[in-house]
Amino acid sequence: MRNLNFLIVLLIILFFKNAQSIVCDPPVGTPINSPTGKAIGVHAGRVVWARDPKSATWDGVTGMYYDYADADVIQSMLDKAILELTGNFDLYTAWGSIFRYHNIRMYKENRGYTKGESIAIKLNLNGDFIKYSDNNGNEATPEEINALLEHLTKYGGVPQNKITVYDSSRLMTPHLVSGIHSAFPDVVLIDNLGEIEYVDKVTTDFSSHLQFSSSAIPGWNLTMLPECATKSQYIIPLDNFRGHRAAGFTLTGKNFFGSIYMPLINCSWSTLIQPTHYCPKSLHPFINVSTNNFGAYNPLVDLLGHPNLAYNGLLYMSAGVYGGASNIEEIDGKLAPAPPVKFESEPFNNHWSSSILVSLDPIALDSVGFDILRNEPNVPLAKTGCADNYLHEGSQANDPPSGTIYNPTGKKQLESLGVHEHWNNSKDRQYSRNLDPIKGKGIELVEIHF
């Protein structure tokens, strides 16, 4: 009897211990609109969300979704978003202030784009693992990429041949290559193999160095970066807008999984493609939201904070014209790229997400993106586990909940990488600077609904 009582008590303790093992944000009782970290931007913490249902007109059945992205509509969305981001009335001045802000933040130099400088745009082609085949996996459309290229070349004054569009671990698809190349023939395209016309193979900068801030990661202190990233003066992470099977969702942080060369680690993620060291495989257990608590070390913070990766971001942008539920899905036991999904929630009302989000603060951008994705019934992955743990860690990278010393260069501990908070509710979508433009210290969300 005594033993039985003991056993019951033990079981109860174990049950509660397990029940509490994943404690996520916001923990019960956390006040809303209590930002962590330090806001960044011409207007600190500002995130602009432009949405126009006319940008995405696919019927969900016929052909490929990316043939139904309206270039003119998307261009107007980006025009308006960039003007709101900086508070300027014309796009030349707006891009001038974006470059100026970046050079002051990075180098304390009050100057704009300078002749000869190059820019790398990091795409997330995670779904493109079947060699050079078009597929209906949700990702940035050529129209979204070209809208950005139009801005950089026209208003930013950057020559086409000084711009590289890349993903070093995956492959371009034919529709992306022709979509970009036909409009911007001198823009450089780079992928893992370089085996399709107009695309070069990635080269590695063997003098570069990134180290993960936890030695539990296999190969943690031996990571290199692609030359297109290390030799560019500016980076623009152009994210997808979707859920993710391991990380819950994927925006700026996860994008840089496609930028790291780990000589000790091999990926052979497709029988159709030779093994590559552009392989983030050893990081996966550390971003898996089902096994990592709130307050755990997260390697996304190292990628966000490295001065040759996200930290060098001129602009952070989410290509959300066709957002999706996941990076990948299983059909008859086989993995396949996941198509876009319609968003049921307000204000989408059962249409494609038809949105572009921009910010100068990567943590703020991902925070708003996460609130939208988490609120969407058709993106259930964004509700799993503590998916925004990396935003807590990253916003307080100087003093994170996990106690990690984040130091991805091995030379200097990181400062705050931006500001994180959640909106006050999914209908009003107010952040602290919306509620109080003077005393608010967090995010300001500017919504533009066409």
Nearest residue (CB) to ligand NAG, 156 versus 324 = 324
Sequence-ordered list of residues with C-beta below 8 angstroms from that of 168, at least 6 positions apart, any chain: 190, 191, 192, 202, 226, 228, 229, 258, 259, 261, 278
Q: Which stretch binds ligand NAG (CB under 6 A): 13-21, 156-164, 360-368, 424-432?
A: 424-432
Enter the tokens of residue 204.
């590695």
**Which residues make beta-bridge pairs with 224?**
261
- State yes or no: residue 349 binds ligand NAG (CB under 6 A): no
Residue 222 CB, nearest approach to ligand NAG (Å): 7
Q: Which stretch binds ligand NAG (CB under 6 A): 95-103, 160-168, 318-326, 422-430?
A: 422-430
Q: Which stretch binds ligand NAG (CB under 6 A): 21-29, 80-88, 202-210, 287-295?
A: 287-295
Nearest residue (CB) to ligand NAG, 73 versus 246 = 246
Neighbours of 290 (CB within 10 A): 10
Residues 92-111 that bind ligand NAG (CB under 6 A): none
- State yes or no: residue 221 binds ligand NAG (CB under 6 A): yes
Strands of 162-219, DSSP E: 163-166, 188-191, 199-201, 204-210
Chain-centre distance for alpha carbon 158: 23
Residue 392 CB, nearest approach to ligand NAG (Å): 20
DSSP output for 374-397: HT-TT-GGGGSTTTTHHHHHHHTT
Residue 266 CB, nearest approach to ligand NAG (Å): 4
CB 46 within 8 A of CB 88: no
C-alpha span between 440 and 444 (Å, rounded) = 9
CB 202 within 8 A of CB 278: yes
- State yes or no: residue 266 binds ligand NAG (CB under 6 A): yes
Residue 284 CB, nearest approach to ligand NAG (Å): 6
- State yes or no: residue 270 binds ligand NAG (CB under 6 A): no
Burial of 90 (0-12, 13-18, 19+ CB in 10 A): exposed
- State yes or no: residue 433 binds ligand NAG (CB under 6 A): no
Give how far Cα 124 sits from Cα of 69, 120, 401, Å: 18, 13, 28
Dihedral (C-alpha) 235, 239, 244, 246: value to the nearest 10 degrees?
0
CB 320 within 8 A of CB 355: yes
Annotate each residue in 175-214 with x if it binds ligand NAG (CB under 6 A) or - if it does not, as one string.
----------------------------------------
Q: Which stretch binds ligand NAG (CB under 6 A): 57-65, 295-303, 386-394, 420-428?
A: 420-428
Nearest residue (CB) to ligand NAG, 165 versus 262 = 262
Residue 322 CB, nearest approach to ligand NAG (Å): 22
CB 234 within 8 A of CB 119: yes
Helix, coil or strand: residue 171: coil
Residues 299-318 that bind ligand NAG (CB under 6 A): none
Looking at 131, 154, 284, 412, which residue binds ligand NAG (CB under 6 A)? 284
Comparing CA positions, the residue from 416, 324, 330 lying closest to residue 372 is 324
Looking at 275, 377, 380, 437, which residue binds ligand NAG (CB under 6 A)? 275
Looking at 85, 148, 189, 246, which residue binds ligand NAG (CB under 6 A)? 246
- State yes or no: residue 291 binds ligand NAG (CB under 6 A): yes
Binding site for ligand NAG (CB under 6 A): 215, 221, 245-246, 266, 275, 284, 288, 290-291, 424-425, 428, 430
